[in-house]
Structure 1
Amino acid sequence: MIQPSSTAPPFGRFEEAWPAATRPGLLPEPVAAALEQWRGSASLDSVLVVDTDPEVADTAAFCAAYDVPLDASANCVVIAAKRGQDVTYAACVALATTRVDVNKAVRKHLGARKASFAPMDVAVTETGMEYGGISPVGLPQGWPLLIDEAVAAAPHVLVGSGRRRGKLILPGGLLSRLPNAEVVAGLAG
């Protein structure tokens, strides 16, 4: 099989970047499967994957190591929203320069009495992704995906690839077209 040539990313200092759908070996199964569902769409080519050092996967270290502006990096966090005995899991995406407002914006939006960050083991098990690399691409079916308006407005953002080794770079607006995605004003501040 012929490997695709590298593509220049819109920011950062990476040895190589490729259209993510052409490098499924760099992605966990849920992310690769989600990208496969986009097959034939013009959007697919705009999703890039970069192979990076997992030792610097945390946002601040990553941005420093790869010369990525913090305001071009977005974090995806898993939330556990409770109402009575029912627990709903959701994912929220916000720029690295902000924090998701879990106690007000997320709780209210999900109609929960209590909302908090999901425990690490639950987030990993439920998503099939690695902690520190959870991606908004490939989330479990039915999960709400709440996206801060600043992320959706960004020309390109860097998000987790589902693994600590590697990241995805894609247009911010493309995230709003993912299943169950909703752009939420005031999600982060």
Structure 2
Amino acid sequence: MTPTVGTLPLEPYRADLVAPPVAALLATLPDLAASAFVVAIDPALADTQALNAAYDLDADLGANCVVVVGRRGADERPAACVVLSSTRADVNGLVRRTLDVRKCSFAPQEWAVGESGMEHGGITPVGLPAAWPILVDRAVTEQPWVVIGSGLRRSKLVVPGAALADLPGARVLDGLGV
């Protein structure tokens, strides 16, 4: 059954509309791939506010994925944070404590793009490097459907929110999105 998500013209998941690391992971998670939908969009609409306005989406239907890097001495610890688009990740509080680091900040764009194999504005928790923890706000997992990046600016994935808790390396946290 195709969900209704704003006015997005959803179609069943297709590997040609996602970045290679996303397609590679979904090939190993057939249940998630079978429940996923995809939509091609104008890349100019990849950012949350533009997408919400163009497709009549409530901010709680979208989930943003931000890449952070925590540091403790010379040790760097990358992670991804997934929060509803109506919130922001508590990077300097909960994320810093969860990663057990002294400093935590958003990863430099070029580094995040290079390490993830995904495009800026399309980074998604699906298909990130296996060593990265994926911190998911519980509020995301409670949504029936969420619109997330596809790894490309020209499309979006729509998946059951609860499915993000089952991604490799995922950890569900209360209060990640503030």
Which TM-score band applies after superposition, normalised by the shorter structure? over 0.9
1:147 aligns with 2:136: yes
Instruction: Determine the C-alpha separation between the residues in 2 that align with 1:186 and 1:69.
Output: 20
Letter in 2 for 1:9: P
1:4 aligned partner: none
TM-score by length of 2: 0.96
What is the aligned-residue RMSD (CA, Å)?
1.1
Report % sequence identity: 50
Please identify the structure whose Cα radius of gyration is greater.
1
Residue 19 of structure 1 and its aligned partner are, at CA, apart by 2.2
| SS of residue paired to 1:176 | helix
The gaps in structure 2 that reach 5 residues or longer are: none
1:94 aligned partner: 83
Q: Stretches of 4+ moved more than 3 A in 1? A: none
Residue 56 of structure 1 and its aligned partner are, at CA, apart by 1.2
2:6 to 9, 12, 26: 12
Instruction: Determine the C-alpha separation between the residues in 2 that align with 1:44 and 1:55.
Output: 26
Instruction: Determine the C-alpha separation between the residues in 2 that align with 1:35 and 1:67.
Output: 28
Q: Is the 8 A contact 1:10 1:156 kept in 2?
A: no
- Once the two structures are superposed, residues 50-107 of structure 1 have per-residue CA deviations (whole angstroms, 9 ceiling, x without a partner) of 1011011110011110111111111000001101001111000000111100001000
Higher relative contact order (CA 8 A, sep 6+): 2
Instruction: Determine the C-alpha separation between the residues in 2 that align with 1:8 and 1:143.
Output: 31
2:112 to 111, 123, 138: 123
2:22 aligned partner: 31
Instruction: Determine the C-alpha separation between the residues in 1 that align with 2:173 and 2:51.
Output: 27
Letter in 2 for 1:65: A
Instruction: Determine the C-alpha separation between the residues in 1 that align with 2:80 and 2:87.
Output: 15
- Once the two structures are superposed, residues 123-152 of structure 1 have per-residue CA deviations (whole angstroms, 9 ceiling, x without a partner) of 100100000110110010111000001001
2:170 aligned partner: 181
2:98 aligned partner: 109
Letter in 2 for 1:103: N
TM-score by length of 1: 0.91
Instruction: Determine the C-alpha separation between the residues in 1 that align with 2:144 and 2:108.
Output: 32
1:79 aligns with 2:68: yes
Instruction: Determine the C-alpha separation between the residues in 2 that align with 1:114 and 1:165.
Output: 33
Instruction: Determine the C-alpha separation between the residues in 1 that align with 2:127 and 2:176.
Output: 21
